[in-house]
Amino acid sequence: MSGTESVAFDTPRRERRADTFAMWVFIGSEAMLFGAIFLVFLVAHIDFGPAFAAASKRLSLPLGTFNTAVLITSSFTMALAHGLALHRRWRATIWALVATAALGVCFLIVKGIEYGKEIAEGLAPLLGLPFRYAGPDPVHAEFFFGLYFAMTSLHALHLIGGIVVIAGMIALWGAASPANRLRRVVAIGLYWHFVDIIWVFMFPVLYLINR
């Protein structure tokens, strides 16, 4: 009835408010997930500070910095999409969304290159790959790289989820009413900014702890 997706709502406006609220609740939930992982990292860092600092220097700062810039730019294009959608400039909105997703893919490619480099250098203690590390305290350096792969891949998974949702939105764009288009852009926008912010915390914690 009256252009809402859920039968529970009378007006699209109320439904959009509910959507936004739901996304905030979801973000609260996600924050607890990443919070727990960050806490684990923090505890380990307190215990093995020097080993972690030394291991951190083996990460690629240029690639990490580049990726941070890429993600911040994607947040900007996402904000652009939101603003354009509010003014019902749908074609421009689509282009902003495409740009956001493309930047996300770019981030993943760079991250993949980085992973490849680390695997080639023997810094990936995964799946029985050889771990070669010349610095002090290799045991805890291995622990650092374990956490590094766990945290960054969890973040990458969230990013992939966001890209898939954007792709799905664009695919269903024609069938959606203007109200639904706006709802979806607002909701995915919130999510995208959140995933971006997680990286903004992760980058200094992993790459910059002792530089």
Partner 1 sequence: MTNVAMPGTYLGDGTGPRAWLLTTDHKRVAWLYLISLTAFFFLGGAMAVLMRIELATPAGDLVSDDVYNRLFSLHGIIMVWFFLVPSIPATLGNFLLPLMIGARDLAFPRLNLASWYVFIFGSLFALFAVVAGGVDTGWTFYTPLSTLYANGWVSTAAFGVFIVGFSTIMTGINFIVSVHTLRAPGLTWFRLPIFVWTLYATSLVMVLATPVLAASLILIVLERVFGIGVFNPDLGGDPLLFQHLFWFYSHPAVYIMILPGMGVVSEVLPCFSRRPLFGYNAVAISSMAIAVFGFLVWGHHMFVSGQSAYAGVVFSFLSFCVAIPSAIKVFNWSLTLRKGEISFETPMLYALFFLALFTFGGLAGLFLAALAVDVHVHDTYFVIAHFHYIMVGGMVTAYMAGLHFWWPKLTGRMYSETAGRIAAIVTFVGFNLTFFPQFVLGFDGMPRRYHTYPPEFQFWNVLSSAGAVVLAIGYLMPLFYLGWSLFHGARAPDNPWNATGLEWQTSSPPPPHNFETMPIVTRPAYAYDMKGLEHERFSPHREEAAP
Partner 2 sequence: MSFGIPFFPQEASSEAGQVDALFYTLLAFSVVLGLALTGLVVGYAVKYRVGSKADRTGKRSRSLPLEMSWTVASLVIAFIFFGWGAALFVRRDHPPADALEITGLGKQWMWEFRQPGGQREINELHVPVGKAVVVSLAAQDVIHSFYVPAFRIKQDAVPGRTTHIWFIATEPGRYHLFCAQYCGTQHSEMGGWVTVMAPEQYAAWLNSQAEGETLAAGGEKLFRALGCSGCHGASSKVRAPSLDGIFGRPVALDNQQTVIADERYLRDSILNPKKEIAAGYEPVMPSFDGLIDEGELQMLLAYLKSLSPQPTAGARP
Q: Which is nearer to partner 1, 77 or 125 (CB)?
A: 125
User: What is the C-alpha to C-alpha distance for residues 30 and 24, in angstroms, rounded to an integer?
Assistant: 10
User: What is the C-alpha to C-alpha distance for residues 101 and 204, in angstroms, rounded to an integer?
Assistant: 24
Q: Which is nearer to partner 1, 26 or 76 (CB)?
A: 26
The DSSP output letter for 211 is: -
Size of the chain, expressed as the number of residues it contains: 211
Minimum distance from CB of 80 to partner 2 (Å)? 47
Return the SS3 of 139. Answer: helix
| Residues forming the site for partner 1 (CB under 8 A) | 6-9, 14, 17-18, 21-22, 25-26, 28-30, 32-33, 35-37, 40, 43-44, 47-48, 125-128, 139-140, 142-143, 146-147, 149-150, 154
Written as one string, the DSSP assignment of 83-97 is HHHHTT-HHHHHHHH
Name which of residues 134 to 153 contact partner 2 (CB under 8 A).
136-137, 139-140
> Residue 50's binding partner, choosing from partner 2, partner 1, none, with beta-carbon cut-off 5 to 8 A by kind?
partner 2
Sketch the per residue contact string, 26 through 55, with partner 2: x for CB under 8 A, - otherwise.
---------------------xx-xx----
11 Cβ contact list (under 8 Å, min separation 6):
2, 4
